[in-house]
Amino acid sequence: MLSGLSVRNVVLIEALDLDFTQGLTALTGETGAGKSILLDALGMATGARSDRGLVRSGTDKAQCSASFTLSEKHPVWSLLKDQDIDFDVAEDLTLRRTVNTDGRSRAFVNDQPVSVKLLSQLGALLLEVHGQYDGRGLLDAATHIALLDQFGEYQPELEAVRTAYVARQATKRELDSLVAIQAKAAEDREFLEHAIAELDRLDPREGEDDSLANERRFLQGAEGAISELTAAQDALGEDGAFEARLSMALAGIDRLRTKFGETDMKAVSSLKSAAEALERAMLETQEAREAVTVAAQSFDVEPGRLEATEKRLFALRAAARKYDVQVNDLAGKRTTFANELQAIETVVMDIQKTRQRAEAAQAAYDKAARALSKARKAAARTLDASVAIELPPLKMERAQFKTDISAGPESAAGVDQIRFLVSTNPGTPIGPLEKIASGGEMARFALAIKVALAGQNNAVMVFDEVDQGVGGAVAAAVGKRLSRLADHAQVFTVTHSPQVAACANSQFRIEKRSTGHTTTTSVTSILDADREEEIARMLAGETITQEARAAARQLMAS
């Protein structure tokens, strides 16, 4: 139910905070007092079309918030979950909307920013407004199918159609994909066969790009390395001349050691060290020459090796560019191409099998849709009869109501298009409800339908001047039906009828006051004697008589 409404700076409303209870609530007041403004504020909070014209003059922003106390099974929770909005089913749900003077609008759910579109979707689940100027009630023909389905209570048939539709769509998408593959098969086959053959000849290996690049760098530097190593070999004297000179030096040292013998121990020690150094030099020179020779051999590459390496590397990189992958991914690309070619080769068989499944899925959907259509037609006859019973007491005894079921596009809701048709006067052709009925008639048709649907409604209902153009016993009948409807759902009615107001469980008086250059609209909850006085005013007009008060008491007691 709608538990509270807070309004700030909306047209003539400066500040307003209202609390509501379950049952039937009447909104009453003089013509022009601002009842429509209150509905505009409620619509603004629940995502209805709103513009900067709602912003109170002299302020920069209008704001409205509506709080709802809902059951755990209310469908609004599923929508919030799908949209990843935080909520607690044990707490009230609050919708809030602001509109600036520049027309910009912001929406919030439990103080979390959301789109106005989502706010409107939530509002459609929470609130129904039936009246002349609101497109969210019966004026929106798209709602008629949901109302019939709600009345019919054929949930198994609805679920069977939804399930069959999902299955049919899945097989259809699969078939469409295979047919698309087949359409491209001839062109793709030629390309894939060529690409696979090219990659087979190339035979790319993982990591080959890096190894070839490294080898290329080595080979490009090998010629310079050999030149350097040859110079080193020349310096070391590959012909043995260097060792011969060292040998001559060593022989001279040995002769000196023999000549001086033990005469001078210091000189002998120095000669010994020199001899040992020469011996090491001779040995290490030989080792160095051998090491340099080995090094030179490692850079001695066969002719054409650099050219072959570059040719292989460039071929791999060209293929990688051609197929838009890295060199290391060429082998994987070949596998992908092979899989695609295999798919093409088997697509004819796959199409045949999938087409059979698609035909079976279509047949299952058609069967489920026919069963649903049959259930809808039976429910439509019952709904038409139920609404027809409600029309005479609402001073619409000459009106006709018919649920029209025509063929429509296939969807998860079946193949039916539902539209409520009416004729309000004898001899006039029957036509769409939203085009034929006047504002008051529209609200009374909605009331009749909702009474027929009693106990099957999750939304708060608002009836705007459902008593328009009627009075006396008809107005009393309207009030009783609103009261009966309120046994199952929270109902608000904007009314000028004392008979309707007297049937309400609670009542709010809307008044317009002017002080100086300022005009404001106020809303006051009225109880007991004040309520009796308001209903008496509605009966008597400007001057309230005792007879009017007595009549008001009688209405409230009946």
Q: In what order do the strands lie in the sheet with 414-423?
A: 400-411, 414-423, 431-432
Amino acid at residue number 540: A
Outline where 491-527 has alpha helix (H). 498-502
Q: What is the pLDDT of residue 118?
A: 94
Beta carbons of 84 and 90 less than 8 angstroms apart: no
Q: Count Cβ atoms below 10 Å from residue 173 Cβ, excluding itself.
A: 11
Cα-based torsion angle of the residue sequence 306, 309, 312, 313 in order, rounded to the nearest 10 degrees: -100
**Among the listed residues 56, 66, 67, the one whose alpha carbon sits nearest the alpha carbon of residue 100:** 56
Beta carbons of 485 and 447 less than 8 angstroms apart: yes
Helix or strand run (H / E) with residue 403: strand 400-411
For residue 111, count CB atoms less than 10 angstroms from its CB and return exposed for 0-12, middle for 13-18, buried for 19 or more: exposed
Q: What is the number of H-type helices and E-type strands within the chain? A: 17, 15
Question: DSSP state, 133?
Answer: S
Q: What is the pLDDT of residue 265?
A: 66
Q: Count Cβ atoms below 10 Å from residue 292 Cβ, excluding itself.
A: 19
Domain segments of the chain as ranges: 155-369
Helix or strand run (H / E) with residue 347: helix 330-390
Q: Along the 558 residues of the chain, how does pLDDT read in single tens digits?
A: 999 999 999 998 999 999 999 999 999 888 777 788 888 899 999 998 888 889 998 899 999 999 999 988 888 999 999 898 998 999 999 999 999 998 899 999 999 999 999 999 999 889 988 765 555 567 778 888 988 998 888 999 999 999 999 999 999 999 998 888 777 776 777 888 888 888 888 888 877 777 777 666 665 555 555 555 555 556 666 556 666 776 777 777 677 666 666 656 666 677 677 777 777 777 777 776 666 565 555 555 555 566 676 777 787 888 888 888 888 888 888 888 888 888 777 787 888 999 999 999 999 999 999 999 999 999 999 999 999 998 888 888 888 999 999 999 999 999 999 999 998 888 788 988 878 777 667 778 888 888 887 666 678 988 887 777 667 778 888 888 888 888 888 999 988 889 888 889 999 999 888 887 788 888 999 988 888 888 888 888 777 878 888 888 888 877
Q: What is the pLDDT of residue 162?
A: 96
d(Cα 317, Cα 396) in Å, to the nearest integer?
A: 84
d(Cα 151, Cα 228) in Å, to the nearest integer?
A: 99
